C-alpha cells in the first residue's frame, strides 16, 4: 500500500520540527485534537508543544506573526485554512515578507513557508474552492510551489524552508487523500522520471521519454487529469503525450524543459485557476520567448471557466478543468 499524500506531508512537517528548533507551525485549529481542517498537522502539537500553535481567526495576523518570526531568524510554516482566504494576507506577504528580503540595503534571509490548500471538486462552493495562484505571480523574492503526488514532500518542504525567501506552497485539497508515487511508476502504462538538477519537474510518459506528439505542462492539482487524458489520447487517437508536473511554479526555469518542448508538435499548459491573467499565460509567454519560430502550433492554454465556482457537483464540474477538458482540447487542436 502506497503512502497517502496527507501522511507524506505530515511526515515532512514532523521532520522539519525535529531537525530545527527554529521551526514553528502556525494556523487556525492546527493543534490537536483537531489537527487542522484536512488533518495535515495531526499529532504534531503533542510531539512539539510550544511550536505547533493554533491561532485566532485572523489570516492577516497569522501572516504578520510568521513574517516577524522569519525576520527575527525563526523558520515559520503557516497554514491558510482555505487558499481563498490568502487575499486577507496579501499586504503582509506583498509589502512585508517578500520585500524584507532586499529592502533593507542588504539581503535578509526570510525562511518562511505559507501552506495554502486550494482547488475545487469537493463541492465547497464559491469561496472555498478557488486556485488563486495568478494573484502572486511577479512579486520579487516570492516563489510559488505546488504539491504533487510525484514529489516527496520531505525533500520539497526542506528545500523551501531553506531558500531564504517566502514561499507559497499551494496544496490541491483533492490530493490529500490520493497516494504518493515515489517509485517511478504510476500504472502499467505510465512511468515518470525527473528533469533538472533539483528534480523540480516530474515527466510522465508512456513506454519511452524520447519522443512525443504533445507536451502537457500541468501542476499537481490537475496532474492526474492530465496523465489520464494522455493515456486516453494514446489509446483512442494515437496521440503520444508527455506530462510535465512542476514543483516550482514561479519563477519558472524553462531551460531543463527545452529539449522536450522542441520535439513536440503541440505544447499545452493546464491549470485549475480561472481563465484570464493566468499562470499558464505566464508560462506560454516564456515559451514564446525561447521557442518562437520553432513552434508548430500556438501554445494551448487550458484553464477553468471565468466563472464563480458552484457548490452543486454537476455545475462545479462544468466550471473546473476535468480529464475530458484536457482530452477534448488536445484532440481538437490536433484535428483543427
Is 57 within a domain?
yes
Report pLDDT for 40: 97
* Longest CA span, the chain: 60
Helix (H) or strand (E) holding 114: strand 112-118
Q: Give the cell for residue 238.
A: 494515437
Q: Give the structural domain span for 330.
A: 190-335
Of 120, 113, 186, 187, the closest CA to residue 153 belongs to 113
Q: What are phi and psi of 20, to 5 degrees?
A: -145, 120
Report the distance separating Cα 162 and Cα 156, nearest Å.
Answer: 10
Cα dihedral: 230, 236, 239, 245 (round 10): 0
Among 142, 177, 212, where does a domain finish? Answer: 177
202 and 165 housed in the same domain? no
Report pLDDT for 21: 97
Helix (H) or strand (E) holding 286: helix 279-291
**Whose grid coordinates read 494573484?**
135
Report pLDDT for 335: 86
Among 154, 177, 200, where does a domain finish? Answer: 177
Is 77 within a domain?
yes
76 and 103 housed in the same domain? yes
Report pLDDT for 51: 97
Report pLDDT for 196: 87
104: exposed, middle or buried (C-beta count within 10 Å: 0-12, 13-18, 19+)? exposed
User: Could you tell me the pTM of the whole model?
Assistant: 0.97
Is residue 293 left, alpha or beta, with left meaning phi > 0 and alpha meaning psi from -120 to 50?
left
Report pLDDT for 66: 98
Tens of pLDDT, residue by residue, the chain (336 residues): 789 999 999 999 999 999 999 999 999 999 999 999 999 999 999 999 999 999 999 999 999 999 999 999 999 999 999 999 999 999 999 999 999 999 999 999 999 999 999 999 999 999 999 999 999 999 999 999 999 999 999 999 999 999 999 999 999 999 999 999 989 999 999 999 999 888 999 999 987 787 899 999 999 999 999 999 999 999 999 999 999 999 999 999 999 999 999 999 999 999 999 999 999 999 999 999 999 999 999 999 999 999 999 999 999 999 999 999 999 999 999 987
Number of domains in the chain: 2
Is 184 within a domain?
no
**Whose grid coordinates read 487523500?**
177
DSSP H helical ranges for 31-181: 44-47, 59-71, 90-91, 98-100, 153-161
Q: Taking the CA of residue 206 as centre, how many other CA atoms within 13 Å lie in the half-sphere pointing to its CB?
A: 19
Helix (H) or strand (E) holding 191: strand 190-195
Amino acid at each position: 500500500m502506497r503512502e497517502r499524500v496527507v501522511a507524506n506531508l505530515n511526515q515532512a512537517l514532523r521532520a522539519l520540527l525535529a531537525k530545527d528548533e527554529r521551526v514553528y507551525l502556525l494556523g487556525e485549529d492546527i493543534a490537536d485534537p483537531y489537527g487542522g481542517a484536512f488533518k495535515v498537522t495531526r499529532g504534531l502539537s503533542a510531539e512539539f508543544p510550544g511550536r505547533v500553535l493554533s491561532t485566532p481567526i485572523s489570516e492577516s495576523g497569522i501572516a504578520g506573526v510568521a513574517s516577524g518570526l522569519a525576520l527575527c531568524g525563526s523558520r515559520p510554516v503557516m497554514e491558510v485554512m482555505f487558499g481563498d482566504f490568502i487575499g486577507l494576507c496579501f499586504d503582509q506577504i506583498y509589502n512585508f515578507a517578500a520585500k524584507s528580503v532586499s529592502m533593507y540595503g542588504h539581503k535578509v534571509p526570510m525562511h518562511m513557508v505559507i501552506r495554502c490548500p486550494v482547488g475545487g471538486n469537493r463541492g465547497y462552493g464559491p469561496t472555498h474552492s478557488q486556485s488563486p495562484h495568478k494573484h502572486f505571480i511577479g512579486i520579487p523574492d516570492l516563489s510559488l510551489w505546488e504539491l504533487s503526488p510525484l514529489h516527496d514532500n520531505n525533500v520539497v518542504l526542506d528545500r523551501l524552508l531553506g531558500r531564504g525567501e517566502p514561499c507559497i506552497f499551494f496544496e490541491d485539497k483533492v490530493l490529500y487523500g490520493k497516494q504518493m508515487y515515489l517509485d517511478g511508476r504510476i500504472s502499467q502504462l505510465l512511468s515518470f522520471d525527473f528533469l533538472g538538477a533539483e528534480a523540480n519537474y516530474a515527466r510522465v510518459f508512456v513506454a519511452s521519454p524520447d519522443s512525443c506528439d504533445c507536451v502537457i505542462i500541468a501542476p499537481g492539482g490537475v496532474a492526474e487529469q492530465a496523465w489520464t487524458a494522455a493515456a486516453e489520447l494514446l489509446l483512442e487517437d494515437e496521440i503520444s503525450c508527455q506530462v510535465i508536473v512542476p514543483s516550482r511554479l514561479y519563477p519558472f526555469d524553462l531551460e531543463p524543459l527545452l529539449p522536450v518542448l522542441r520535439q513536440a508538435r503541440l505544447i499545452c499548459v493546464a491549470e485549475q485557476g480561472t481563465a484570464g491573467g493566468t499562470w499558464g499565460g505566464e508560462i506560454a509567454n516564456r515559451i514564446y520567448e525561447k521557442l518562437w519560430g520553432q513552434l508548430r502550433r500556438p501554445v494551448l492554454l487550458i484553464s477553468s471557466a471565468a466563472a464563480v465556482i458552484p457548490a452543486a457537483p454537476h455545475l462545479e464540474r462544468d466550471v473546473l478543468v476535468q480529464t475530458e477538458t484536457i482530452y477534448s482540447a488536445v484532440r481538437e487542436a490536433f484535428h483543427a
